[in-house]
Each structure stands twice: as structure tokens, then as C-alpha cells.
Amino acid sequence: MHASTTYLYLLRNTPFFTSLSKPQLRWVIDHSREWEAKSGATVTDCADTSGDYWILLDGGWAVAYGGKQLPAGHADAGKWFSAKEVQGECRLVTTERSYVMQIKRAVMDAMLAEGFAFNAHLNAGRAYYRSIFGSDQPAR
């Protein structure tokens, strides 16, 4: 993966961010990192202890788990990922050329504390990941 530039006009059309105001979008851009990844690139794996959040901006990715690839697009419940939400061995891999955003856990926590409208997306993703990894997954 290599660093990419995040553009406000594109970010505002990404489903995870459509509810944010322009100042909130600018804050996200200033406190995150965008990456471009070729098809088949590993974005992160379940051994990652950072708790960083990954959001699919464009393209596609899949959770490789238990010999399966469980795909998600940028409008699906699995459009974000954090290894802190799952257990076991897995990898998050791109299924096509993709753009992904990395948000540090502390930054996401700060945005949530400030009322950034992410809860619906996060709750849908948690339900999706519990359906894959089991109902005993942490609910955060």
C-alpha cells in the first residue's frame, strides 16, 4: 500500500461519512491517513493490537477467515474493520484496487465523543462481524 491524498469532495460521498458536516470532514482528513492498495493487498490482520479503524473508501475488500473470503463494498455493513472487534486468525485483503482510510482508535474515540455520526455504521459493522466470528465478540 502507498499513501494517497484524501479529497473532501470525494469523502463527503463515501457512505461512512455522508452525515458529517464540512468542518467534520476536514477534521477527519486532518486526523487520518488514506492508502491506495492494489488488488490482493493485506490491509491488516486480526493480530493487530492497535485497534485502528479501517474504512473502505472505494474499491472492495474481504475478510479472509476460516478458508473463506467474505467480501464487502463501501456501502455494505463490512465497510469498516478493526481487529479489536474480532477474534481468531483473519486478514483484511483488497479484492480490487482500493482506497482505504486508517483512523487511529484514539482519534475515532474522540470523534465519537464529539458526536460524529458514525454509530449506525459502527453498529451495523459490529453485527456483521459477530455474524462471521460468533456472538461472543466484544460489543464496543
Domain CATH number, residue 86: 2.60.120.10
pLDDT at 138 over 70: no
Reported as a pLDDT band with limits 50, 70 and 90, residue 132 is confident
Is 86 domain-assigned? Answer: yes
Q: What are phi and psi of 92, to 5 degrees?
A: -100, 115
Q: From edge to edge, which strands make up the β-sheet containing 98-103? A: 2-4, 33-37, 98-103, 53-58, 80-81
**Cell numbers given for 63:** 475478510
Is 37 domain-assigned? Answer: yes
State how far the Cα of 138 lies from the Cα of 140, in Å rounded to an integer: 6
Residue numbers of the domain that contains 124: 2-133
State how far the Cα of 99 lies from the Cα of 109, in Å rounded to an integer: 22
CA dihedral of 34, 36, 42, 45, whole degrees rounded to 10: 10
Alpha-carbon Rg for the chain in angstroms: 14
Is 139 domain-assigned? Answer: no
User: How confident is the prediction for the chain on average, in pLDDT?
Assistant: 92
pLDDT in tens, 38-60: 999 999 998 999 999 999 999 99
Is 82 domain-assigned? Answer: yes
